[in-house]
């Protein structure tokens, strides 16, 4: 049987078997609606309250500051659009030039509604120009939104510094933490007003996420219904998903991240040996990310070639990979069109060993030689 190597963990992760087992209980046994007043409903309510505490603790938040959503995209929409509905007279939004489409597409819509959207540039390493953020904030600014870890090349932003600047200037700060939540330390009390996260990036289920809203920050709902989640996100709570998300956080605390980083660094060394160019900061980079360019190679063709060999990588973020356009974040850090076209993203997990790295790189090397234009 051909061995497979899944190297696309920034897109989604395999649900941990212990997470699946936890979820099954809420599909088959404790399946009550949390809004029901009978025993099964009350038990479901108690369980999601426990999960809310576990998830809140992960970012040093209060349980009532956590709102359950269907994932990162919905969380980002509620954060930006909900805040805009609460403060309709503030017509300026500041984002980085590295944001996920679930931020940039909202902002594109806002532009058609008369908002001024300011995209802050980054340096060649992928660091957001914090001084430019500080200069741009004024009395008309609705919020600043900067993702914690870039979903393409994994660079970590100093969200504490950005958040504190926003706080000092009386502006709301939101961060898309989908790629960092449950992987690196986050303290919501240090400058963060709103934060978005998703379960399926940390071996939890798809279809569940959170929006953290600091106590005192006012947002309005986008949809109306039964008033669940304090009226911010109506609809029957996804109890199995919520419980699976909480379980994934508990399991994730035991992951040996230093081991993953060591394998990642070996991977980078081997890719550079065969002529790969690593994109983005090496120092401020999440421990499992590699983004590499090969000259005169079409990344989409390379991805398909490797897929036939049982090696699964990505030619960009999952949300953009089928659009056939150069990724904005790669342009932002100064990659040429040729470099962008020949770029792949590799995101590993704890199951990739150093001995597997040599085999994978050998297959990449063969493919690159074969596919060079």
Tell me the three state secondary structure of residue 34: coil
**Closest Cα to residue 23, out of 194, 248, 359?**
248
**Strands, DSSP E only, in 155-273?**
172-176, 194-198, 209-213
Q: How many residues does the chain have?
A: 373
Distance CA 358, CA 262 (A): 14
53 touches 59 (CB < 8 A): no
165 touches 116 (CB < 8 A): no
Active-site residue (options: 319, 321, 326, 339): 319
Number of neighbours of residue 99 by Cβ within 10 angstroms: 24
Distance CA 97, CA 93 (A): 12
Number of neighbours of residue 336 by Cβ within 10 angstroms: 13
Burial class of residue 271, CB neighbours in 10 A (0-12, 13-18, 19+): buried
Distance CA 178, CA 286 (A): 12
| Residue keyed to tokens 């489409």 | 101
**Does the annotation mark 107 as catalytic?**
no
- In sequence order, the 6+-apart residues with CB closer than 8 A to the CB of 319 are 100, 101, 102
Catalytic residue IDs: 319
């Amino acid at each position: 049987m051909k061995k497979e190597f899944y190297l696309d963990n920034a897109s989604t992760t395999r649900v941990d078997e212990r997470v699946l087992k936890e979820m099954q209980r809420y599909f088959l046994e404790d399946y009550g609606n949390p809004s029901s007043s009978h025993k099964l409903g009350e038990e479901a309510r108690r369980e999601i309250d426990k999960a809310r505490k576990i998830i809140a603790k992960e970012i040093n938040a209060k349980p009532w500051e956590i709102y359950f959503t269907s994932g990162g995209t919905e969380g980002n929409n509620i954060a930006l659009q909900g805040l805009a509905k609460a403060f309709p007279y503030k017509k300026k939004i500041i984002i980085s030039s590295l944001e996920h489409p679930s931020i940039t597409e909202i902002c594109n819509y806002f532009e058609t509604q008369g908002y001024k959207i300011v995209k802050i540039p980054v340096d060649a390493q992928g660091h957001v120009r914090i001084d430019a953020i500080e200069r741009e904030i004024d009395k008309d600014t609705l919020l600043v939104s900067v993702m914690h870890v870039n979903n393409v090349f994994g660079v970590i932003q100093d969200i504490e510094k950005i958040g504190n600047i926003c706080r000092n200037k009386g502006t709301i700060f939101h961060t898309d933490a989908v790629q960092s939540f449950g992987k690196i330390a986050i303290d919501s009390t240090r400058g963060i007003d709103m934060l978005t996260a998703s379960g399926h990036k940390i071996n939890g289920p798809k279809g569940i996420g959170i929006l953290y809203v600091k106590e005192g920050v006012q947002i309005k709902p986008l949809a109306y219904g039964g008033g669940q989640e304090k009226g911010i996100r109506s609809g029957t709570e996804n109890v199995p998903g919520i419980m699976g998300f909480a379980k994934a956080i508990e399991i994730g605390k035991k992951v040996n991240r230093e081991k993953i980083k060591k394998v990642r660094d070996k991977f980078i060394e081997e890719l550079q040996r065969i002529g790969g160019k690593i994109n983005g900061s090496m120092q401020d980079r999440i421990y499992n990310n590699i983004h590499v360019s090969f000259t005169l190679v079409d990344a989409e063709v390379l991805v398909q070639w490797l897929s036939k060999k049982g090696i699964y990588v990505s030619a960009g973020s999952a949300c953009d990979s089928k659009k056939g356009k150069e990724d904005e974040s790669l342009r932002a850090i100064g990659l040429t069109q040729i470099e962008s076209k020949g770029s792949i993203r590799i995101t590993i997990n704890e199951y990739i060993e150093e001995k597997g790295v040599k085999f994978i790189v050998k297959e990449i090397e063969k493919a690159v030689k074969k596919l060079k234009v």
